[in-house]
Amino acid sequence: MSDTDAQGIPEPEGHSQLIETDYEIGQDNIETSVGPFGLDIHNPVFLISGLSIIAFVFYALVLPEQAESFFGWLRPAITSTFDGFFLAAANIFVLFCVFLIFSRFGSVRLGGADATPDYSYIGWFAMLFAAGMGIGLMFYGVSEPMSHFSSSLGGITEEGGARTDWAPLGAAAGNEAEAIRLGMAATVFHWGLHPWAIYAVVALALALFSYNKGLPLTIRSAFYPIFGDRVWGWTGHVIDTLAVFATLFGLATSLGFGATQANAGLNLLFGVPVGPTTEVILITAITSVALISVVRGLDGGVKILSEINMGLAALLLLFVLLVGPTLAILTGFGKSLLAYGEYLPALSNPFARTDDNFRQGWTAFYWAWWISWSPFVGMFIARVSRGRSVREFIIAVLLVPSLVCVLWMSVFGGTAIQQFVQDGYTAVKDAPLELKLFEMLKELPLASITSFVGIILVVVFFVTSSDSGSLVIDTITAGGKVDAPVPQRVFWCIFEGAVAIVLLIGGGLSSLQAMVISTGLPFTIVLLLMCWAILRGLQDEVRGT
């Protein structure tokens, strides 16, 4: 009687091993309405996350000094005490992903043996890239290669037996060519395989346990092999609430800092006054565009914006490549790759190193940061990755973005280093972080146009982070349901902007950012457990065929 095969549904889905559990998706949800708005929310994750976020914002506002001194101490304490742990864990994630590519598990398909991908390569790639690190590339693309280059060139300085310089490894005192190589290798190290392996682990765990095992699309599902049915109780509530927490504060603090940085760019370009008024207007504008995007949905909003952004970023990249020192950049790309390969073992070695400042202040900090973002980015990647095989998934999430990052860093950082080394242009080295990109562009033709494109890119990258983040939080707080009413995602989107504005005006952005990074430590343990859960899940899939 049914004619199901003519439609867009891949039927049959083919082989997959469903997990049999008595839990019904949405069984803990409350369906109600507040005024004219319908709601379908998870009890108690929605309320607990909402209320505890408000409580923390109050804490940061009412006791700013206490909050700042506590979190100001906590973050460096964590990254310097557990630096070896962070470095070792990140290495495990990379090795785990590489193992999956070559193992027999690589052929397992997310969504069942016969599932077909929901998105084309371009749409898929644009979305995972925009959510993953787009905004960071805008700010660190010029500044990070520059920092590592100059600290390496400066050589090692010691005081009382401890190194006071920030150079990676053994530095490259006075050796310009080697300092460039080391600087690029260190930058690519922070933006290459390791962060994407972190995202890939979380995304793969979530995709596997929802598409192949039929569990709800929330963070707790990945823990089913470990905790069994207890994940539907308080164990799971805590995991999901933590994820909402890290996501919302991560987004709100980035939004706050991003507004400050966009403001600096606008000031340089158009003389727009710097101050809270402009910043609040910027946050409101970014949130409004994000709002339109989430109301239009995944395909009509988020995907389109991500693709536009991708196109703009590619244009800017191409422009700098062509009008900048093209030959030097292209050979630089090859050199950066080689240098990355050469220095990778030493840079990722967690033990017996002397470069304390670099290892703890840069590497461990980055690892904690990527890990605290991983629930958000991982869940978003999972949402758009059904129908890919594990091998295809890892290659696309791990290798392709890493290569793009090497290219990006070589073009933007390489151009800036050339400007400094060849032309003695020091502004690009001395400018504050948020202005380095614009200082670099200033030396190239059509600076006013490219700088404007740069600001637009910053803003749109924020919009894509904000809307995909709202979708993720909405799904988690709806117990994994993706068909919750629209007002809910509108609420989270506005809430996120409001938290950013309150913190920006009242102070407390940096202490909350420190707190977000501190969540990286518990999440590292969570991620290690996830690797084991993925192995268990994939074994079942392979065994059943």
Partner 1 sequence: MYRQIMVPVDLAHEATLAHALAVAADLARHWGASITYVGVTSPVPGTFAHNPGEFARKLAEFATAQGAALGIETRAHPAIAHDPTTEVDDALLRAVDETGADLVVMQSHIPGLVDYVWPSNGGKIAAHARASVMVVRG
**Interacting residues with partner 1 (CB under 8 A):** 1-4, 6-13, 16, 18, 24-26, 36-37, 111-112, 118, 210-211, 214-217, 295-301, 383-384, 386-387, 471, 480-486, 489
| Residue with smaller CB distance to partner 1, 241 or 470 | 470
C-alpha 204/C-alpha 390 separation (Å) is 8
Least distance from C-beta 11 to partner 1, angstroms?
5
Query: Residue 287, Cα to own-chain centre: how many angstroms?
Result: 19
Least distance from C-beta 298 to partner 1, angstroms?
4
| Residue with smaller CB distance to partner 1, 324 or 480 | 480
Q: If you write DSSP's letter for every residue of 176-201 in order, what string do you get?
A: HHHHHHHHHHHHHHHHSHHHHHHHHH
Q: Compute the C-alpha angle 306/212/302, nearest 5°.
A: 15
C-alpha 105/C-alpha 103 separation (Å) is 5
Least distance from C-beta 26 to partner 1, angstroms?
4
| Residue with smaller CB distance to partner 1, 34 or 327 | 34
- SS3 annotation, 347-399: HHCCCCCCCHHHHHHHHHHHHHHHHHHHHHHHHHHHHCCCCCEHHHHHHHHHH
Burial class (CB in 10 A: 0-12, 13-18, 19+), 453: middle
| Residue with smaller CB distance to partner 1, 4 or 327 | 4
Asked whether 294 and 490 are in contact (CB, 8 A), the reply is yes
Least distance from C-beta 499 to partner 1, angstroms?
23
DSSP lists the bridge partners of residue 159 as 162
341, 343, 347, 348 alpha-carbon torsion, rounded to 10°: 30
Asked whether 520 and 365 are in contact (CB, 8 A), the reply is no
Least distance from C-beta 475 to partner 1, angstroms?
8
Q: If you write DSSP's letter for every residue of 20-67 in order, what string do you get?
A: P-SPPTTTTEEEEEETTEEEEEETTHHHHHHHHHHHHHHHHHHSHHHH
| Residue with smaller CB distance to partner 1, 206 or 397 | 206
| Residue with smaller CB distance to partner 1, 180 or 478 | 478
Indicate the SS3 state at residue 163: strand
Least distance from C-beta 119 to partner 1, angstroms?
8
Least distance from C-beta 488 to partner 1, angstroms?
8
Least distance from C-beta 131 to partner 1, angstroms?
15
| Residue with smaller CB distance to partner 1, 286 or 294 | 294
| Residue with smaller CB distance to partner 1, 12 or 432 | 12
Burial class (CB in 10 A: 0-12, 13-18, 19+), 228: exposed
Least distance from C-beta 486 to partner 1, angstroms?
6
| Residue with smaller CB distance to partner 1, 116 or 277 | 116
